[in-house]
Amino acid sequence: MAVLKEAKMEMNDLVYIESDGRGRILLNKKSGPKKGTLEYLFKDYDEESFKTELTVFGESVGNEKW
């Protein structure tokens, strides 16, 4: 746990595993989605179902503007 704290990582963080080409293994924390992206907007989405009902406003009269 001390190593995680020193590396500013927490349990269940995603990491990249790389080799430096000299026999050492590097672990780099994967950064989260960038602010303003769809990934950022949905980062906390838990895949709960979404339900809605169609609203019918009646018969068209032929002069509606869509």
> What is the model's pTM?
0.39
Q: Which residue type sits at 30?
A: K
Q: Which two tokens stand for residue 45?
A: 């989405």
| Cα 51 to Cα 40: distance, rounded to the nearest angstrom | 23
Q: Quick check: helix, strand or coil at residue 4?
A: helix
Strands (E), 1-66: 15-19, 25-29
Q: Measured at the alpha carbon of residue 19, what is the angle toward residues 13 and 23, in degrees to the nearest 5?
A: 130
Per-residue pLDDT tens, the chain, 66 aa: give them: 788 888 888 877 888 899 999 999 998 888 877 888 888 888 888 877 777 888 877 777 777 766
- Domains in the chain: boundaries: 2-41
